[in-house]
Every structure is written in C-alpha cells, then in structure tokens.
Amino acid sequence: MFPNEGDNVRLVPGDELKLKFDQDGVTKWKSRGHIVRITPEEEICLELKSSSKPPDSSKFTVEFVWKSTSFDRMKLALKVLLKDENSISEYIFFKILGYNTSEQYLKSNIPKQLSVPGQPELNHF
C-alpha cells in the first residue's frame, strides 16, 4: 500500500515511480518503473525497468517522477498568445489580462435544440 498522508498526488496508470532500498544509509538497490494498475485496495502494480531482482523487504523509499509535458504545453500556448497577434482577438486578449474593455456583442441565432445525429441531446435539463 502507498500511503498518501495529506499529499495532493493522484497516481494513475502510466505514471513513473522510483523505488529505492537503503540499508544502514547505503543504497543497496534502486529502479524506476511505470504504474501498470492500481487495485481497488489501492495496491500499486509497477513494471520495473531494472533487470535485477528487488530485495525481500517491505521498506522501500518511493519517489514520484514528475513529468513536465502538460506545463510545457501551457507555456508554449502562452508564448503563442503573446507573440502571434492573429492567435486571438484583441478584445479577448485584453479581457484575459484584466484590462477594462468595452463589452462586445455578437448577433447570432442559437437554436433551441442542439443535437448531433446518433448522439444524445445536448444540454438537456
């Protein structure tokens, strides 16, 4: 079982973890692995990259390997927003940045029933 004492880490299959076994302050074994599944009892099944067998112990140090992919994508999107003046309208750009802008309205006829053939009705209340 992996205790999550007040941590805001949500583990999902595909996440990478580092396992380490220390004895008398010396690292005897370590490996990385990806979460294959999480059981209903919250046991975590890892597929380890190391070819050596882990020691028979229940005292491992577990570290979450942080991946920056989603943050890199957000950073790139902000760069595009800043540098490409055609990426967004001037009104929306200044509204997002918190400037006082005069409201803009668009005339459009929105249908009362929104639907896609073969799919359930949208926005049904």
pTM: 0.51
CB-based contacts of 121: which residues, under 8 Å, 6+ apart? 113, 114, 115
For residue 103, being part of any structural domain is answered with no
- Kindly state whether residue 50 falls inside one of the protein's structural domains: yes
Is 43 among the domain residues? yes
Following DSSP, what letter does each residue of 9-41 receive, concatenated?
----TT-EEEEEEEETTEEEEEEEEEEEEE-TT
- pLDDT 10s digits, 39-77: 988 888 889 887 788 888 778 888 888 888 889 999 998
- The domain total for the chain is 1
Q: What is the pLDDT of residues 1-13, one digit of tens each?
A: 455 555 667 888 9
Judge whether 24 lies within some domain: yes
Residue range(s) defining the domain that contains residue 20: 16-65
Residue 88 lies in a domain: no
